[in-house]
């Protein structure tokens, strides 16, 4: 199950850049304190609004009881005769972050009028209900008459009509305000973190009888303490902490899968490749884009190293074989001269010395060609090269008088981005190979194909066997060793052309040998 899930994640893992992963991790870490502070403030505001909602519910219940027991009030209509808009839920209205905090509720001045008799009667009827509500909710409940005088509760006989929430209620609109709590005292040194600790929520609710405001319930209560709320909701908070930790684990996994693990795997593969017992690893699908590019570069480098190593091994074996024959001849001739010099005739001594000179000349030629090949392998493309091929073709053709070279090239051929020295070396090698193969006539032609100039060299010699067509460019492969061939000419030509992003190939021909050289246009 876990394995299938991992495969599913790998298939759908997005390609992310390294800077994107690091930016995401840093932003997440930087946002955690801000997120915690915001969540704390949101939670505290929720506690304040919850207190308001509780006061609204208590006030609505007390108002309903007062309307039922108010002197002269008619009973409510039956449920089946109520209007569709009868049910009107009341939303909370205060906000701790943006709401205005009023000063502590002042002591009510003595009223200059006699309390309303109906309100006095209703207060006596509602006394058990109010006491029961206060006993359970610990809220302060005051019953005011139609002019704002306290008829039940703390400050009886006082006038609260000047309070904004009471004025709104006397006008028929319930109102909730936040005020400073004068009775508050610090219980913990950490309570400064909570804004609601020093507040008290006041809710005024009108009592409407016969479409007339006959009184007001004024309720107040301190919101639930933040730290007490944190303790009571510890399960939810622990869940939030678990979510944050899970987010950190996810971000750590993102960094691990996108950066750390691919780099560790690449480092291990590099050590194995260095030791010669490993190969380039597969690119992880969850790695960052830069890491993927690094894997691709490493794979190409490992393949190039492996190819180069095989080439060096084969090249060393071929060089050893090529040097062994003339060295053996020189050694044998020297040994015979040392053992039988006195008994040899002058003609025999001359023959052995000629053999030594011939083998020495072959060794010198091999060393020269090897140096040429090394220079060709180390060649680099030249910037800004633009060479016309027609003059070079004529010059090379004139230098090979033993062949009838036909230059079938036009004057409007575009210049190529290959150095003149490279073109001369390649054409000289091809014409010399044609001469050694027994050709009498060579034709040079050209055509522009796909932003390249295709230069063809066709001779009328015996041609090239299909099995040898690809081996021609291998070092030391030659069918004219007896004529002094080293088998390095075409290898050098290919390396020189490759340095300028050009190619050479032997192609099938109905008669003779045909080589095609693809040259990039300048």
143-165: pLDDT as tens digits: 999 999 999 988 888 999 999 99
Banded model confidence at residue 218, pLDDT cuts 50, 70, 90: very high
Cβ(426)–Cβ(504) under 8 Å? yes
pTM of whole model > 0.75? no
Q: Using CA of residue 464, residue 468, residue 469, residue 475, what is the dihedral sign?
A: negative
Banded model confidence at residue 381, pLDDT cuts 50, 70, 90: low
pLDDT at 204 over 90: yes
CATH topology classification for 10-73+91-232: Beta-Lactamase (3.30.450)
**pLDDT (tens digit per residue) in 26-58:** 777 777 666 766 666 777 777 788 888 889 899
pLDDT score for 51: 85
Distance CA 259, CA 290 (A): 9
DSSP codes, 346-404: HHHHHHHHHHHHHHHHHHHHHHHHHHHHHHHHT--PPTT--B-HHHHHHHHHHT-TTSE
pLDDT score for 292: 77
pLDDT at 123 over 80: yes
Cβ(425)–Cβ(492) under 8 Å? yes
Most confident among 278-282, 304-308, 345-349 (mean pLDDT): 345-349
pLDDT score for 325: 63
Distance CA 182, CA 174 (A): 24
Backbone angles phi, psi at 246, to 5 degrees: -65, -40
Q: Are strands 404-408 and 514-520 parallel, antiparallel or unpaired?
A: unpaired
| DSSP type of residue 182 | T
Starting at the edge strand that comes first in sequence, how are the strands of the sheet with 101-102 ordered? 101-102, 175-180, 199-209, 212-221, 140-145, 150-152
The larger pLDDT score, comparing residue 16 to residue 485, is at 16
Mean pLDDT of 416-439: 80
223 burial via Cβ count (<10 Å: 0-12, 13-18, 19+): buried
Mean pLDDT of 419-439: 79
Most confident among 5-14, 76-85, 422-431, 475-484 (mean pLDDT): 422-431
Mean pLDDT of 315-339: 68
**pLDDT (tens digit per residue) in 220-273:** 988 876 665 555 667 877 787 787 777 777 777 777 777 777 777 777 777 777
Element (H, E) at 219: strand 212-221
- How wide is the angle at C-alpha 53 spanned by C-alphas 38 and 227, nearest 5°? 45
pLDDT score for 513: 82
Percentage, residues of the chain above pLDDT 70: 75
Mean pLDDT of 79-105: 79
Domain limits, the chain? 10-73+91-232, 381-520
pLDDT score for 461: 81
Mean pLDDT of 432-457: 82
Identify the three-state secondary structure at position 144: strand
CATH topology classification for 381-520: Heat Shock Protein 90 (3.30.565)
pLDDT at 113 over 80: yes
pLDDT score for 149: 92
């Amino acid at each position: 199950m876990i394995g299938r899930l991992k495969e599913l994640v790998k298939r759908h893992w997005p390609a992310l850049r390294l800077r994107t992963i690091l930016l995401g991790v840093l932003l997440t870490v930087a946002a955690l304190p801000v997120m915690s502070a915001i969540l704390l403030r949101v939670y505290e505001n929720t506690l304040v609004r919850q207190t308001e909602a509780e006061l609204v519910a208590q006030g609505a219940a007390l108002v309903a009881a007062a309307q039922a027991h108010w002197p002269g009030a008619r009973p409510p209509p039956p449920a089946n005769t109520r209007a569709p808009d009868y049910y009107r839920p009341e939303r909370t209205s205060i906000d701790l972050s943006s709401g205005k905090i009023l000063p502590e509720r002042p002591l009510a001045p003595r009223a200059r009028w006699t309390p309303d008799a109906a309100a006095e009667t209703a207060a006596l009827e509602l006394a058990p209900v109010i006491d029961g509500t206060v006993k359970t909710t610990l809220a302060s409940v005051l019953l005011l008459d139609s002019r704002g005088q306290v008829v039940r509760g703390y400050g009886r006989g006082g006038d609260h009509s000047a309070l904004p929430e009471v004025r709104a209620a006397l006008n028929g609109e319930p109102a909730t305000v936040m005020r400073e709590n004068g009775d508050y005292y610090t219980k913990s040194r950490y309570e400064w973190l909570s804004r609601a600790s020093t507040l008290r929520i006041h809710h005024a609710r009108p009592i409407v009888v016969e479409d007339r405001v006959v009184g007001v319930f004024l309720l107040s209560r301190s919101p639930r303490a933040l730290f007490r709320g944190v303790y009571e909701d510890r399960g939810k908070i622990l869940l939030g902490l678990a979510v944050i930790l899970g987010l950190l684990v996810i971000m750590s996994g993102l960094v691990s899968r996108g950066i750390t693990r691919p780099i560790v795997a690449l480092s291990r593969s590099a050590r194995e490749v260095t030791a010669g017992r490993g190969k380039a690893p597969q690119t992880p699908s969850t790695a960052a884009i830069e890491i993927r590019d690094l894997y691709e570069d490493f794979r190409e480098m490992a393949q190039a190293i492996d190819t180069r190593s095989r080439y060096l091994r084969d090249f060393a074996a071929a060089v050893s074989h090529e040097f062994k024959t003339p060295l053996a001849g020189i050694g044998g001739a020297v040994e015979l001269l040392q053992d039988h010099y006195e008994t040899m005739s002058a003609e025999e001594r001359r023959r052995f010395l000629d053999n030594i000179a011939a083998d020495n000349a072959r060794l010198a030629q091999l060393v020269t060609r090897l140096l040429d090949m090394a220079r060709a392998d180390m060649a680099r493309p030249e910037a800004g090269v633009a060479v016309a091929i027609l003059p070079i073709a004529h010059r090379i053709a004139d230098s090979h008088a033993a062949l009838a070279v036909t230059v079938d090239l036009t004057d409007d051929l575009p210049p190529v981005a290959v150095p003149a020295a490279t073109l001369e070396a390649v054409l000289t090698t091809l014409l010399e190979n044609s001469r050694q193969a027994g050709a009498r006539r060579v034709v040079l032609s050209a055509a522009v194909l796909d932003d390249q100039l295709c230069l063809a060299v066709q001779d009328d010699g015996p041609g090239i066997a299909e099995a040898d067509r690809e081996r021609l460019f291998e070092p030391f492969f030659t069918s004219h060793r007896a004529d002094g061939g080293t088998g390095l000419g075409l290898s050098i030509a290919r390396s020189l052309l490759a340095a300028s992003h050009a190619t050479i190939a032997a192609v099938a021909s109905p008669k003779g040998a045909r080589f095609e050289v693809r040259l990039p246009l300048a």
